[in-house]
Amino acid sequence: MNIKQNAGNGSRWMERSVGLVLLLVLSLATASPAAAQKKKKNDDTQPTPPPSVINSLPDEQKIDYAIGEMLGAWQIGDIEKLHKNIADDVSVVAGTWTPPAVGWTSYLAAYQMQRARMQQVRLDRSNTLIRIAPSKTVAWACYQWEFSAVVDGSPSAAVGQTTLILEKRGDAWIIVHNHTSLVQASQPAAPASAAPPPAEPAPAKP
């Protein structure tokens, strides 16, 4: 979902941009077999295949494509395409201490408010796993993501993981639940040879 900024900037990013994790729900880029587990890069120049081609894909690839299409829409602010792959009754659990966003309207309001703060947005995903239930009507996908953007005029970056639950409604796979987790930046360890700080003198007893 490697922090792309040094540890010294980690706390500043958290202070300025922690709310963006709510938006990191889409981290697949272009359609290709998820079983290959290859890292996918965003490419908004890819032509959209005709519906007949998409409908002929195996379900796993349909899911892969749907999430990739949604990522492209999220990145450029295409609300119509974004809604195409997100259910009206979606629930979104962010990697922050915030209540779940319930329903498309709630999610859209948060998305538009936060998306206005960002430029040069990029999301890459890796290590995708897609599973389809025996009923063939429910599936889940999990993957890691890497995020970078200019937020409020300052470069920001983060990594994390997301799990999606999808339902097959008609011929389409639609996201009905998202759970995103932000991976915190680790603090650099002190050198082993560093001497411990001097002990504070004990306070004098009265």
Spans of all domains in the chain: 7-45+59-182
Q: pTM here?
A: 0.67
Of 46, 72, 63, nearest in space to 168 by CA? 63
- pLDDT at site 47: 63
- pLDDT at site 10: 43
pLDDT mean for each 10 residues of the chain (206 residues): 43 41 36 36 55 84 89 84 94 87 93 88 89 97 91 93 95 94 66 46 39
Tell me which amino acid residue 63 is. Answer: I
- pLDDT at site 38: 38
The answer to whether the CB of 174 falls within 8 A of the CB of 67 is no
Which class in CATH covers the domain with range 7-45+59-182? alpha beta
- pLDDT at site 185: 61
